[in-house]
Structure 1
Amino acid sequence: MIRIGLGTDIHRLVENRKFIIGGVEIPFEKGEDGHSDGDVLLHAITDAVLGAAGLGDIGSYFPPEDDKWKNADSAELLRTVMKDVRSCGWEINNIDCVIKLEKPKFLSYRQKVIDSVANILQIDSDKVFVKAKTGEKLPPVGTSEAVEAEVVCLLTQAAEESDQLRFL
């Protein structure tokens, strides 16, 4: 069995916050404003994986109104989700990611981010691809007011596990 999930996230960029993409801190004068560490890529991946597995979304797992998740490490949140996804018999076949940002330029960080995401997900790095697009100077991404991510995830599940879960 295969299932596809789509995840998106956007965060305002503000001063005095770290700029984190895929678990990698990237030097920049602004960072993501969010309840957790604001890592838009990991948030979008989390939603894509949860959606593909039919397990909800990041907000239902980690409600922003719960102070327990204030400044949480998004990598740890994704690891928690992956335990549940794997316990249902799902494995990641691949994920394809788009980061939308005007600055900083992303290309020199791409492989580090791919390796970080693969490490967090405990999958081979050739199952992860990340590319960046600018906002062509159009707000909010193109004016460096926000950073956005979109992710597509393909999950696979062995047929016998799918049949077993159906009867639970």
Structure 2
Amino acid sequence: MMKIRTGFGFDVHRLVEGRDLWLGGIKIEHSMGLLGHSDADVLIHAICDALLGAANMRDIGYHFPDTSADTLNIDSKVLLRKTVELIAGKGYVVGNIDATVCAERPKINPHVPAIKACLAEVIGTDEDNISIKATTTEKLGFTGREEGISAYAVVLIERKDD
């Protein structure tokens, strides 16, 4: 018998000048980047929160606090790899991920294949198990004013019962 669980994650970071823009583990050319203690990869952070939530292991801030020197400017791919290892410690593997990035600019859709390939490699799963979508807020709210980018993720994790 297989045990499956689902998790939901959400993250948001402010857009600022003078920072690189990292989304889904890849650097995207843009006039602004996301502000954060790490590289502020909002998509990976939402996925990590969803995975941790599905395994009932709290959230990304609990495991990788933004007060720690160990996580200062860290590549979020490292956090994702460690998150996958954490859930594996409870016997879980990633089943699938469905995530949405919410940004007015830059356009995300041209980068989706590279994001999927990057995430699949970090997680150790097939690209077909990862769905990345993009949307805008029709110029409404902080996203519409291009003050920040948000991301949402839903995941399914699986564990084989002996």
TM-score by length of 2: 0.96
Q: Look up the SS of the partner of 2:39 in the other structure.
A: coil
Q: Which residue of 2 aligns with 1:130?
A: 132
Whole-angstrom CA distance in 2 between matches of 1:96 and 1:90: 17
Q: Which residue of 1 aligns with 2:52?
A: 50
Equivalent residue letter for 2:118: S
Cα root mean square deviation, aligned: 0.8
Q: Which of 2, 17, 20 is equivalent to 1:15?
A: 17
Equivalent residue letter for 2:15: L
Bigger CA radius of gyration = 1
What's the CA shift for 1:90?
A: 0.4
Deviations 1:88-121 (A, max 9, x none): 1101110000000000111111111111111111
Conserved 8 A contact 1:8-1:149: yes
Q: Which residue of 2 aligns with 1:28?
A: 30
Q: Which runs of 4 or more aligned residues in structure 1 lie more than 2 Å from their structure 2 counterparts after TM superposition?
A: none
Identical columns (%):
39
Q: Look up the SS of the partner of 1:123 in the other structure.
A: coil
Deviations 1:66-104 (A, max 9, x none): 122110110001111111211211011100000000001
- Report 1:12-161 matches (<5 A): 12-160=14-162
Whole-angstrom CA distance in 1 between matches of 2:119 and 2:151: 14
Conserved 8 A contact 1:135-1:143: no
TM-score by length of 1: 0.93
Q: How many residues align?
A: 160
Equivalent residue letter for 2:84: M
Q: Which residue of 2 aligns with 1:166?
A: none
Whole-angstrom CA distance in 1 between matches of 2:112 and 2:132: 7
What's the CA shift for 1:135?
A: 1.5
Where does the alignment leave 5 or more consecutive residues of structure 1 unmatched? 161-168
